[in-house]
Amino acid sequence: MMEIEITINGRKRRFDVEPNKLLLNLVRDDLHLTGTKYGCGIGECGACTVHLDGEAVLSCMVLAVDADGRTVDTIEGVADVNNLDPVQEAYIEEGAIQCGFCTPGFVMTTKALLAENPDPSEAEIREYLKGNYCRCTGYVNIVRAVQSAARKLGS
């Protein structure tokens, strides 16, 4: 067991973890933050995307001990109590959510994109999102949602 400290969604938390514990499972099983999904476990689908020190990463490939002393943000930290985040709003308004299982990962990647590049071209959006896999939408409405979110955040 190792003691680690992680700031999760703005709150500092301490955990005792085994070194083989994945950040994904710390978030889902210990913190019950189930918005972050297991989709493949090997970095192919992006459903487990969280922000580690502000950068989008795959929590299925990060050991919890490696997040010691760092900041982790999950989909649960995106919206405040009363309002959805503009990115979430845009996904709903543009019909970008079908089954919804990939959506948290997409929203986290989209937030990282727009933080880096507030006015991305379509090609930049498609390139940035290519590590997030969606089987339902064919990505059309997702790309539109990202464009719409960029407009919302820009105005």
Partner 1 sequence: MTINKVNTHIVPIEFEYHAPGSLDEAVGLLERYGEEAQILAGGTDLIPQMKQRKAEPKHVVNIKRIPGLACIEETPDGFRIGALAKLRAVELSPQIKEKIPLLSEAAQSIGSVQIRNLGTIGGNICNASPSADMATPLLVLDATVHIYGRDGAKTCSIAEFFQGGGDINLGRGEFVTGFTVPFPPVGAGSAFEKVGWTTFDIATVNVAAVVTLKGGKIDHCSIALGACSPAPVRGVLAEAALIGKEPSAEALEEAVEFIAACVEPRERWRRAPPEYRRRSSKALAMDALSRAIERARRFP
Partner 2 sequence: MFASDMSLPNMLYGRVLKSAHSHARVKAMDVAGAEAMGAVTLTPDEVPDVVYCPRLVSIPEATYRDWRVLTDKPRYVGEPIGAVAAESEEEAQRALEAVEVEYEVLGASFDALDAMRPEAEAIHERIYLEDDLLDVESNVGCALDITEGDPKALEDADVVIERTYRTNRRYHNQLEPKSVLVRPEPDGGVSIWSTTQTIHNTRLLIHDIYGIPVGKIRVYKVALGGSFGSSIHVNPVVNIAVGLALKSGRPVKMSYTREEDIRDHCSYQMIFKLKLGANRDGKLAGGRLEAYLDIGAHQIQAYPLLGCVVGWWVSLYKLPYVEYTGKAVYTNKVPSCAFRGYGNPQITWVVETMMDELAGELGVDPLDFRLNNYIGEGDLFWGQGPSVKSIIRSCGVEEILTKGAEMVDWYNRPKAGAQTGRFRRGWGVGRGYHTSSAGAPVPSSIVDFGGAMLKMNEDGTFDYVSALMDHGCGTQDAHVKIVAEELCVPVEKVNIIKADTGTTIYDVCTHASRGVYSGGGAALKVAGKVKTQIREFAGRILDAYPHAVRIRYDEEGDRTVVYAEGIEGREVTYREVAETARHKNWGTVSALESYRQPSCPPHFTGYFIEVEVDTWTGKVKPLRVVAGADIGTVINPLLAAGQVHGGMAQGWSMSLLEDTPYDPETGDLVNGGSIANYKVPTSNDLLDLDDFTVFFADTYEPTGPFGAKGLGEGALNPVAGTVANAIQDALGVRFFELPITPIKVLEALREKEG
For position 142 contacting partner 2 by CB under 8 A, the verdict is yes
**∠55-61-62 over CA atoms, to 5°?**
65
For position 61 contacting partner 1 by CB under 8 A, the verdict is yes
For partner 2, what does the binding mask look like between residues 34 and 53, x meaning CB under 8 A? x--xxxxxxxxx-x------
Q: How far is the CB of 82 from partner 1 (least distance, A)?
A: 30
CB nearer partner 1, residue 55 or residue 119:
55
C-alpha dist (Å) from residue 4 to 63, 71, 75, 105, 149: 11, 12, 22, 25, 35
For position 42 contacting partner 1 by CB under 8 A, the verdict is yes
Q: How far is the CB of 85 from partner 1 (least distance, A)?
A: 19
Amino acid at 59: S
Q: What whole-number distance in Å separates Cα of residue 110 and Cα of residue 104?
A: 10
